[in-house]
Amino acid sequence: MLLRMAESTKTRFNPAKPAGAKALTKARPEVRFRMRIRKGDVVALGPGKVDLLEAVREHGSISAAARSLDMSYRRAWLLIDELNQSLKSPATVSEQGGQSGGGCMLTPVGERIVRLYRDVEAQAQKACAKQIGELTRLMQP
């Protein structure tokens, strides 16, 4: 059995060099952790919902938060509704809507979720520094 490095498969199937190839060889590795809490088929809490909560906190309404994330109002509303339905007590509180829709802010539960989630990301990275170091050392500089 003749074994060659994986590059040899190029003789069978040789796509154009991917556009990202240059960026890949020059940039430094950047590590990101993402935690998802699933309940059945639904991601009750994940990076998208936490980004959205932070955007609501910053912009003061679901519609402005959605715009800042380049997301439709409908999608943002559904994500927040899904999150609130999965919680014992909701993460957001909405002002009674006028013509342009009301404002929305985080409840103490919402603030706590954001803080805990960002804490988890930082702590996970710290706890796995050794393995992450080993992995990045296997990569091209």
- Is 49 a binder of a copy of itself (CB under 8 A)? no
Contact, 119 vs 9, CB < 8 A? no
- Which residue of 53, 62, 64, 66 would you call a contact of a copy of itself, by CB under 8 A? 62
- Can you tell me which residue has the tokens 């498969």? 9
Closest CA to 88 of 40, 34, 39: 39
- Which residue of 52, 71, 104, 111 would you call a contact of a copy of itself, by CB under 8 A? 104
- Is 55 a binder of a copy of itself (CB under 8 A)? no
Q: Strand, helix or coil at 104?
A: strand
How many residues are there in the chain? Answer: 141
- Is 5 a binder of a copy of itself (CB under 8 A)? yes
- Which residue of 59, 67, 93, 111 would you call a contact of a copy of itself, by CB under 8 A? 93
- Is 58 a binder of a copy of itself (CB under 8 A)? no
Name the token pair of 62: 């679901």
Considering the complex, what minimum distance in angstroms separates the CB of residue 53 from a copy of itself? 11
- Is 67 a binder of a copy of itself (CB under 8 A)? no
Residue 48 burial (CB count, 10 A): 17
Q: Which residues, listed in sequence order, are joined to residue 47 by a DSSP beta bridge? A: none
Considering the complex, what minimum distance in angstroms separates the CB of residue 139 from a copy of itself? 5
- Is 48 a binder of a copy of itself (CB under 8 A)? no
Give the number of C-alpha atoms closer than 13 A to the C-alpha of residue 128, restricted to the C-beta side: 13
- Is 70 a binder of a copy of itself (CB under 8 A)? no
